[in-house]
Chain A
């Protein structure tokens, strides 16, 4: 069965600090996708990034960066120079590939609540 673990329940930092959110996943599929979503207090899930299992290149988008390591089944998310607007719950998620014949439903971790204080 697929599983996503976000061991950090809550993190609190001061503005401008760097912060890394951890994500560890389990799957027996050889082809899968990993996602990060942001959920602000308003409740909607905002897509941040998608990665397929064959692409281990790290990615940087502005202040956000992601480190995907298949060897440790991890897909960690770093925010550089955090800002108050980054305060939200962040979810890591995993989906099986269409080629496995499934629904490609997302399996989410429990989320990490990030609070950035001014």
Chain B
């Protein structure tokens, strides 16, 4: 297993367009997390899946954001009607249940620039 994979690495989009990011977690990890990191800040939690169930969403996740994890494998994060404030690095992480005890593996992130 090569770790957590995120695609694309970079995305430049015009304001108002929709974008979708993909995360492929480590295959045996049943937990998947999305975080957003803006310049000069630490990553902030967006949402969490256990298998295919989305169990927690941050208040940062406005109704323009939607995430899915069909069949408990890869996950997608879609942003509709992008705004300049959405420009950030979007990070995906995966872990076993009991993530605190086993740790979390992060992907390299998708850097979104909204122009």
* Number of inter-chain CB pairs below 8 Å: 73
Interface positions of B (Cβ within 8 A of A): 31, 33, 35, 40-45, 48, 55-56, 89, 91, 93, 95, 97-101, 103-109, 111
Residue B99 contacts which of A43, A52, A98, A107 (CB distance < 8 angstroms)? A98
Query: Which residues of B have CB within 8 Å of A104?
Result: 31, 95, 98-100
Task: Say yes or no: A42-B108 contact (C-beta < 8 A), given A91-B42, A103-B48, A107-B45.
Answer: yes
Across the interface, do B33 and A52 meet the contact criterion of CB distance under 8 Å? no
Residue A105 contacts which of B33, B42, B91 (CB distance < 8 angstroms)? B33
Query: Which residues of A have CB within 8 Å of B31?
Result: 103-104
Segment 18-58 of A: residues with Cβ below 8 Å from B: 32-33, 35, 37, 42-45, 47, 50, 52
Closest 6 CB pairs of A and B: A108-B42, A33-B100, A45-B106, A103-B48, A105-B45, A44-B108
Chain B residue nearest in CB terms to A49? B103
Task: Say yes or no: A33-B101 contact (C-beta < 8 A), given A43-B111, A44-B106.
Answer: yes
Task: Say yes or no: A106-B104 contact (C-beta < 8 A), given A44-B109, A45-B43.
Answer: yes
Chain A residue nearest in CB terms to B4? A44
Q: How far is the CA of A37 from the CA of B104 in the complex (A)?
A: 10
